[in-house]
Amino acid sequence: MAQKKIAVLVGSLRKESFNRKMAKALIKVSPDSLNLEIVEIGGLPLYNQDFDDNPPVAYTQFRESLKKFDGVLFITPEYNRSVPAVLKNAIDVGSRPYGQSAWNGKPGAVMSVSPGALGGFGANHHLRQSLVFLNVPTMQQPEAYIGNAAKLFDESSNLNNDSTREFITKFMHAFAEWVLRFASKGK
């Protein structure tokens, strides 16, 4: 069976981002049925509806690049109990012009990662609210709120925690099954 291509969007631009480290860890434990690729979102100008008729090249490239993917995986920190602006911006850019949303029908999953104890629960669920509207069928279980992230990676940015590795492996296998459920829809 052909691999399913998954876009990975990371909601942090920070060089030492725990979320980016987690995205790389997820790629390592992902089953062979998935092919994950981080899609960069830091270069997208702030979304402006005036650009819908004459979009910046970065918007067009981003929207086009999303077309090749069968699903989308969001790995995000929580900023002020919500979704970081850089990730919301990418979601908004991908959603327009009206009626041409790049997200429509693509199966998704969300993981939030925070050095705090709550694991970014607020961001995770605010993000899910947008995904309902965007018709991204989003995996419900297992939920993934990864807390205490500052303790999870070694000096080489590798995951150093066996139970977290076990959990994210389970998460990625569940996501692979979730994506397959939608495979016949041709998205």
Ligand X SMILES: Cc1cc2nc3c(=O)[nH]c(=O)nc-3n(C[C@H](O)[C@H](O)[C@H](O)COP(=O)(O)O)c2cc1C
- With respect to ligand X, which residue has the nearer C-beta, 102 or 110? 110
Contacts of 124 (CB under 8 A, 6+ apart): 76, 78, 110, 111, 112, 143, 144, 145
**Kind and range of the H or E element at 176?**
helix 162-181
**In whole angstroms, how close is the CB of 122 to ligand X at the nearest point?**
6
- In angstroms, the CA 143 to CA 129 distance is 15
- With respect to ligand X, which residue has the nearer C-beta, 36 or 179? 36
Q: Which two tokens stand for residue 116?
A: 């705090």
Which residue among 81, 151, 170, 185 contacts ligand X (CB under 6 A)?
Answer: 81
Number of residues located near ligand X, criterion CB under 6 A: 15
How many Cβ atoms sit within 10 Å of the Cβ of residue 43?
Answer: 10
- Give the residues across from 37 on adjacent strands: 7
Residue 148 within binding range of ligand X, rule CB under 6 A? no
Q: From 77-85, 126-134, 164-172, 173-181, give the range in contact with ligand X by CB under 6 A.
A: 77-85
Residue 17 within binding range of ligand X, rule CB under 6 A? yes
Is the separation of the CB atoms in 69 and 7 below 8 Å? yes
**Owner of token pair 């995770």:** 124
- With respect to ligand X, which residue has the nearer C-beta, 105 or 147? 147
- With respect to ligand X, which residue has the nearer C-beta, 77 or 108? 77
Contacts of 1 (CB under 8 A, 6+ apart): 33
**In whole angstroms, how close is the CB of 121 to ligand X at the nearest point?**
8
- With respect to ligand X, which residue has the nearer C-beta, 22 or 176? 22
**Kind and range of the H or E element at 19?**
helix 18-29
Q: From 46-54, 76-84, 96-104, 135-143, give the range in contact with ligand X by CB under 6 A.
A: 76-84
Instruction: Give me the residues that bind ligand X (CB under 6 A), please.
Output: 12, 14, 17-19, 77-81, 114-116, 118, 120
